Every structure is written in structure tokens, then in C-alpha cells.
Chains A and B, each alone.
Chain A
Amino acid sequence: MRHLYVHIPFCHRVCPYCSFYKHTPGNTPMAAFVDAVLAEAEMAGRDYDLKLDTVYFGGGTPTALSEVHLERLLTGLRERMDLTGVREFTCEVNPRTITDSKADMMRAQGIDRISLGIQAWDEETLRTLGRDHAPDDAEETFHTLRKAGFRSVSIDLMFSIPGQSLEAWRGTLERSISLNPNHISAYNLNYEEDTEFFERLRKGQYRVEEERDADFFYAALDQLNSAGYEHYEISNYARPGYRSIHNEAYWLGEDYIGLGPGSYSTAKDHRWQNIADTNRYIELLQSGQSAAQPGEALTAEQRRTERFGLELRTARGLPESLVKAPEQRMIRVLGEEGLLLVENGHIRLTRAGKPLVDSVAVALMGA
């Protein structure tokens, strides 16, 4: 087992588009929460042969934990797991949740990569998204992180947000580039079930416009490419040498273990989720039980389907060998239509094919 994910489900304010398991800290006993995660880490150490390459603290907002709790979590983790081989240790950060000393502590505890949730650089879009930071807050946080000396700082952006103009999006890309981050993630807004945005979409207040989505996608692709960022996954761009190793592991179908309430794990063709209820999670771990919920056993065909859906998203592409003989006709057809090309035994999407990954994947599966 080479990849570890830790889910910290706290946010000071819940964004109306987010579907991750999260909540405001409220009355959560933070010390008990940290203990529970550490207890789960200990369990994972017993159950799996951990040779960790990457660790990823996500949320929620990991930095919603106070410096004291976060430090205890990081120290505790190091005491229970061998992190010496870790090549990438990412922590998600939201603007206004970090101070110089907190950043220094994180750096000292081995975190070397930051994913900063900026989303947009204009106030109007930030308001639509329900973010509680102002553009200048985000910039300040970015400089704080740079000063602390993290190896890699990534910026998270979102596009095709209701009310967001293409100009505003280009402006957001420009200001991000001007900060010279090592990595940029650019996500098309997704209307996820059980979110307020989904409800507004359903009521007709918001609309999904495929053409608009495409225009925004290409704006990002072009602007980031010309600024020297490599498009290595549908929503991710990196300076050479700064791809996210942890996320690439997901896209290549590797196993990963998740700690914390609501986190997912995939190991040996099983996928499960921890109980998405922080209090229950703490109780279970306190009484020495696992927080894992019954999951699913993945068949070979299911895994193959996942590989199509994930690997086609990557710059490396999908091994051609995964396409069965009767399906190969479609490689030719889609190649002729300019959607993909085959190189070094891998099917890679072209500029036109990139935003059509799902349809291409389906077209290639099952003749």
C-alpha cells in the first residue's frame, strides 16, 4: 500500500456546490477526533503493508484544525507509520486558514505540497460560490505558503460558474499564472446531487451549457499551455516535474487507504467508504472498531471500465491493449474524426477529444 489519504471534514463555512463529506466544526471534540484518526492509522498499519509514497490531507479543510491539533495529528501519524519513503505529502489549504507559524509547522512536519483552494479571483464569482475569502486574502495566503518554502504550491480554480463571464475566467487564469504556482487544477463546476447548486439547477435557476463549458475549458487549456503548464489530466496542469503523484495514483488505478470520516479506500479489488458521520466515527474508533462501511467488490470488467474512464483523462493515455478486438474499429473511427491518436501503444485524446473523455470511453467499450 503506497498511498494514504486523510479526510478532515471541517469547514468554517459550507460551500453550496461541494459534495464532499464536511461540516462546520460545531461541538466536535477535536482532540478526540485527532485520537480517532490516529487510532485508525494504527489499525491500517496492522492491516496493510504500508510503504507510503504519497500522503494527502484533504477535506473539508485540513487547516480548519488548529495548529495544535494539526501538529499532534502530523506527529502522531509519523509515530505510527513509516513516512521516510514519502515522495509527496500534500495538504489542502483554504485562504485565511493559515498563519506563518502554522505554515512553518506543516513544512517542518514533512508536508511539501500545498493545494490552495482559491477557485476564483473576482469577488462576484467568489460570492456565488459562497467562499468566505476575498481575492486579496487568497493572495496573502499564497505568499505565506511560498515564504514557508513548500516544494510545490498548487492553485485550485473553478470555471463555468453561474454568472461568470469568459473574460472573468481568463482574468482568473491570468492572475493565477502571475503568481507562478507549480501546479494548477481547473475544474468545470459540477452540479453534484445533494448540493444547493444541484437544487438550483433543478429549479431552473442555473443551466448547464455544453458550449459554454467547452469554451471555458479551451480557454484554460490554451492559457495554461502557453504559460508553460502541461495539461497532464483533464482538470490538472503542472510545471514539468510538479504533477501530483498522489492523484496520478488514482488515475492509474492504484490502491489507496483513506482515514477519517467519509474517506474512501480501494484495496485488492475492494472499495469502501468510512462512515460519513464524524461523531459515529470517533465512537467507533474509541471502542476499537473499524469505521469502514460495507463496500463493493470490483469485478475485472468493472476495473476495466474504470481504467477507460480514468486513464483516458491522462496525458499518457489508455494502453491500446485494453481495447478488445471488436472495439478496435472505433479507435480508427475516432482517430479519423480527430478525437484521438495512438502513440507508443497508448490511446491519447487530442485537443478536440479531451473534453469528451466519457463519450470516447463509452464508444471504445463494448462494440
Chain B
Amino acid sequence: MPIENTRNFSIIAHIDHGKTTLSDRLLEFTKTITVREQQDQLLDAMDLERERGITIKAHPVCMNYKGRDGKDYKLNLLDTPGHVDFSYEVSRSLAACEGALLLIDASQGVEAQTVANLNLALQQNLHVIPVINKVDLPSADIEKCKRQLEDILQLPADEAVPASAKMGIGIEDILEAIVAFCPPPKDPGDGYLRASVFDSIFDPYRGVVSYVRVISGTIIRGQKVRLMASGNDSEIKDLGTFRPKMVPCEKLEAGDVGYIIANVKTTADVKIGDTLTESRKPAPEPLPGFKEIHPLVFSGIYPVSTDDFEALKLAVGKLQINDAAFTFMAESSAALGFGFRCGFLGLLHMEIVQERLRREFNMDVISTYPSVIYDVRKTDGTELQVDNPTFLPPANEIEEIREPIVKVDIMIPNENIGDVMQMVMDKRGVVNNTETLDDRRVLLHTVLPLNEILVDFNDKLKSITRGYGSMDYEHAGTQPAELVKMDILIASEPVDAFSCIVHRSKAESRGRQLCAKLKEVIPQQLFVVAIQAAIGGKIIARESISALRKDVTAKCYGGDISRKRKLLEKQKEGKKRMKSIGRVNIPQEAFIEVLKNN
């Protein structure tokens, strides 16, 4: 098929605006799948994706479509992750397209993430086709959506296609719009092989499967190829297209989207954004846009039962094969035993990894308070990066600490401006400017420290705005901050699992909060137990758990002895599930309770 008849496009949308349903309808309409094969959200293969309605991995699919003009078209849809944690993957997927459908929920209108995703698409010079979805809903307001398209997004509203993916309305119009407005791929025509790797997965039977968009040249079986950034050479064992299952084919040509299988061991060897070329005749320059991705959020992951360490080790190893962005290193904690310091792209990524460990590997894990990576310059001039409070040097050796910051766009109803601005300030953020979107909503452009939005920011936003607020963020470098390490001491023993790096202004309230929570969950002991929060040697918050006074049963004669013994045996057994911190025994559940509620 001539390259002029190929269209590569993506769908960008806010979560829940119907992206996956639309993908499914397009597949049905083009008979890429039959209705019989249907299973809602066909492209979101992972259970977790289906359940949460989010896309984690890219899911390309190739469709054949006969246009109203009578010509046959090859349409490659690149369904991309819809979350900022995966924005690099999104940008690589978008780079493999020439056009994008921008999906807007007719009843919700434009959301913060819509704006962010549109910006990503525009950066890649994609032609954007607006689709107003869910027009069948009684609450749909198509006119309002069109106004928003013009006013907020500066997109021509007359190009917008009204549709309902759920009801199958407007599907053909969307396909026609793709054919009409999405430009065909361009082949530089210099004969060099250039293919962009936009995702990779690990298949236990076939090894690493890389998803590629061929920009120029041809890929065939047996070809010797090279990944230009990593310099690895390998041989193409198999190749094909997605329909939507992987179907082998003879060759992939300029403009095509497909997969290749080469003799590569782990996905870590295939970096997303890398350029695949021919080993014998490598392209003079790689395709632009490649960057190494680094985790930004860190957390210790420990097995609840210390016996499960080996199983956890196996599980994180397996996860990484499929998720090169996830990193782990063995570490140990006096309180939690042996575990791993894990790095994630963001909060959702962290949650997904934890959830996959639980679900796919049946691991019962507990995670420490998430941390970001801090750049520390010591007084002796040396610099280090700290992702674990344990390794923060003593305060007197620190010249400066820089913390990562993020640009956060927050879209909220007008009436919540005051509360949300207050929240941003409480989180040490600044509101750079406020944009009025329409008569109901405003967009706040803010900058916040990453560690302040790690835990409850989104939840708080949702609760202030009764669910109407939405946010999106991108990384914006680092800034110096007055950060300190806060330790929690239980009966004078520091408990590493509860140590954290906090802003000095937040330390006291956080210390008090942690101490109070610990007081609640640590059972009474035989003696008074002091719980203290300390910075360096200075105690900034304290609580104490009063001692038990009486526990003994009254009588102990012939028939009582076995009962008494069983009681003691039960308590002895319970002790095994406790961690002893100095002279205090703390049940594992208490750790979980505290870490969970952070």
C-alpha cells in the first residue's frame, strides 16, 4: 500500500472521557475485530488497566479502512498512556503519529489533562482533530464544548466531530476526518533505516517485543539492526503488525507501525525513544527526542512477612523486565527487615507497581513514606543525590539541598479558588497566574515542590472541589529548600522506617501527627513508652504511651493451668509478628497502619 494511504494517529483525552471505548468502536467498525471477539476495553490488556480505566502501556493497532472515496487506507492507532507519570512514553508514542483525536466529554468539557495532552500533541506538530464524545448523554452540552475548544484550546470548532463511542454514533465520521485531516507519513527517501522505538514489553515465550514506527527504510526478518543510543546490535527474529493481536508479516516499511522481536534479553536493553537502524548501514543521525528516563519518586518496599524476601526479589525482577522505568535496589531497615528501595516515574506508577506486586505476584508488601530525590551539596564541595532519608548527611555537613519542583495546572470551579489557592500555599507552592476558562471554571498555573503533591494533594483537591477539580503536572527542575531529616524515636530508639525528609516549616506538624498516630497504634507496654519526633538532637514533638498496670488473671489452680498456658502461647506467637525496637515490641500491623495513613 502506498505511503500516501497510511495514517498514524493517536487519541488523547482526560481519564474517563471515553478513549478506550472509542478505540474499541473503531476496531469494530473497521472489522479489525468482530463483535464476537469483543470484550470491553480491548486494548487495555492488563487487568489493572481495565479495572481502573487507565492505560499504562501503549497499545498500537493496525486497521484497514475503505474510505468514502473508495480508496483503501491503513490506519495505525497508537493508544497511549493517559497519565503524566508516563508523559515521556506519551511523547514518544505521539512522535510516531502525524495526527491525534482530541476527545472531550460533552458533559464535562475541557479538563486540565486535556490541555496538557493537547500541548504534548502540538509540540509534536500533530494535526489535532477534536471529537466531542458522549453526545447522547442528557447532560451533554455540545455548544459549550465548541466554545471551549475555540476559547481555551484555540482549535477550530467547526472541525469537531460529535460522537458517542458508547452508542456507536459518529464513528465513520471520525474515520473520515482522520483520512481527510491527518497528514500521511513522509519518507525522507534517503534509504537509511530509521525506526523509533516507542514501547517494549516482555513476553515470557518470545522475549522482548519492541514497538516501532518506521520513519524510513525497511525492516525484514534476519536483518542485523542496531539501537543507536545503547549501541546494541541484534538480529530481527520476527516482525509484524498489531491487529490487534500480533500478526507476523514480511516487512515493515516507512510509515508503518509494528513490532519487532530481536535477540534482546530485557526491556532495559531497549530504551524507549531509541532509534533502530541497520548495523551495516547505520543512519548518520538518530531520530530526535531520545532521553534517558529516571525515576522521580522513591519508596522502600518490604515484604510484610520477612520470610517473603526471596519471593519479593523474584517478583520485582520480573516486573522490571516489563517495566524498564521501574528501578530497585536491595536495602534493609532495622524496623522492616530486608526489602528494596524502588524508583518510580510518579505516584500512579508507584501505585501500579505495588498493586501488580500484590495481584500478579501475590506479595503482601508494605511501603515506606514516598520520597523524592534531593540534590545535596556538602560543605566540603562534594555533591550527592539522596532518595532515602537514611543517607542524608548530618545537617552540619550540608551546604544546600535542592528539591524537585513541578509545574501544576489545576482546573477548578470558580467558587473554589480561595480554598485551592490556600491549599497550594499550605503545600509551599506559588500560583503564577490564573486563567479564566469560561463562566464556571478557572485554570491555576502553579509551581509546587514535588514532595508536597506526592501523597494527598489530588485527594484534597477532589474533596475541596467535590470532585470537579482536576490537575496535571510536569517536572520543572529543582530549587533550594530548607529541608531537614526528621527521625521518630520510640523509647529513645530511632525507627528508620518512619524517618523522612521534610521542610523545616512542616516538620513540627508532621512530627506531631506521626507521634499521635503511633500512640494510637502501638499497644501499651510494660513500661511507659516515649514517642518523639526529632530533628538532629532536638525533640520537636512527643507523646507517651502509659504503661500497662494490670493484666493477670485471678486464679490459677488445677483446671486453669492449661488455659493459662494457651493464653501465654498465643501471646508468644503474637510476639513473633512484632518487630522489637529496642525494648519495645511493635506489631507489624502498627507499621502498616502508620505507613498506610501517611
Contacts and interface: CB of A to CB of B under 8 A. Distances in A.
Given A188-B554, A250-B556, A334-B526, A305 B561 contact: no
Contacts of B565: 302, 305-306, 309
A358 B568 contact: yes
A187 B554 contact: yes
B559 to A, nearest CB: 4
Given A251-B556, A258-B558, A356-B550, A305 B583 contact: no
Interface in B570-595: 571-572, 575-576, 583
A256 interface: yes
A223 interface: no
A187 B559 CA distance: 16
A10 interface: no
A271 B551 contact: no
Interface in A212-261: 213-214, 217, 234-235, 247, 250-251, 256, 258
Interface string B184-206: 00000000000000000000000
Interface in A276-310: 296, 302, 305-306, 308-310
A210 B550 contact: yes
Contacts of A5: 558
B527 A339 contact: yes
Interface string A346-367: 0000000011111111110110
B564 A362 contact: no
Interface-central residue, A211, A214, A339, A358, by most chain B CB under 10 Å: A358
Tell me the dominant secondary structure on chain B's binding face: loop
A172 interface: no
A358 B572 CA distance: 11
Contacts of B562: 271, 296
B569 interface: yes
B556 A213 contact: no
A250 B557 contact: yes
Given A250-B558, A250-B561, A366 B575 contact: yes
A360 B567 contact: no
A170 B567 CA distance: 31
A199 B60 CA distance: 65
Contact of B548 (A187, A210, A310): A210
A121 to B, nearest CB: 19
B558 A355 contact: no
A251 B556 CA distance: 8
A266 interface: yes
A185 to B, nearest CB: 8
B549 A210 contact: yes
Contacts of A234: 552, 554, 556
Contacts of A337: 526-527, 583
Nearest to A354: B552
Contacts of A355: 549-552
A356 B561 contact: no
A113 interface: no
Interface in B527-566: 527, 548-559, 561-562, 564-565
A310 B561 contact: yes
B558 A362 contact: no
Contact of A363 (B526, B550, B569): B526
Given A309-B568, A356-B526, A359-B526, A190 B551 contact: no
Given A5-B558, A235-B555, A308 B568 contact: yes
A31 interface: no
Interface residues of B, number: 26
Contacts, number: 113
A33 interface: no
Contact of A365 (B550, B567, B568): B568
Contacts of A20: 559
Contacts of B526: 334, 337, 339, 356, 359-360, 363
Nearest to B557: A250
B575 A362 contact: yes
Contacts of A309: 556, 561, 564-565, 567-568
Nearest to B569: A305
A210 B558 contact: no
Contact of B572 (A310, A339, A360, A362): A362
Given A358-B568, A366-B572, A313 B549 contact: no
B562 to A, nearest CB: 6
Nearest to A188: B554
Contacts of B568: 305, 308-309, 358, 361-362, 365
A179 interface: no
Interface-central residue, B553, B554, B567, by most chain A CB under 10 Å: B554
A209 B549 CA distance: 11
Contacts of B557: 247, 250
Contacts of B554: 187-190, 234-235
A359 B525 CA distance: 8
A32 interface: no
B572 A365 contact: yes
Nearest to B558: A264
21 contacts: A5-B558, A187-B554, A190-B553, A190-B555, A210-B550, A214-B549, A263-B558, A263-B559, A264-B561, A266-B558, A266-B561, A273-B559, A302-B565, A308-B568, A310-B556, A313-B556, A337-B526, A337-B583, A354-B552, A358-B552, A362-B575
Interface of A: 5, 20, 187-190, 210-211, 213-214, 217, 234-235, 247, 250-251, 256, 258, 262-266, 271, 273, 296, 302, 305-306, 308-310, 313, 330, 333-334, 337, 339, 354-363, 365-366
Given A263-B559, A309-B565, 12 more contacts: A188-B553, A210-B551, A213-B549, A213-B550, A214-B550, A235-B554, A266-B558, A302-B569, A310-B564, A356-B526, A356-B551, A359-B526
Closest 10 CB pairs of A and B: A214-B549, A355-B550, A187-B554, A337-B527, A214-B550, A264-B558, A264-B559, A188-B554, A362-B571, A357-B552
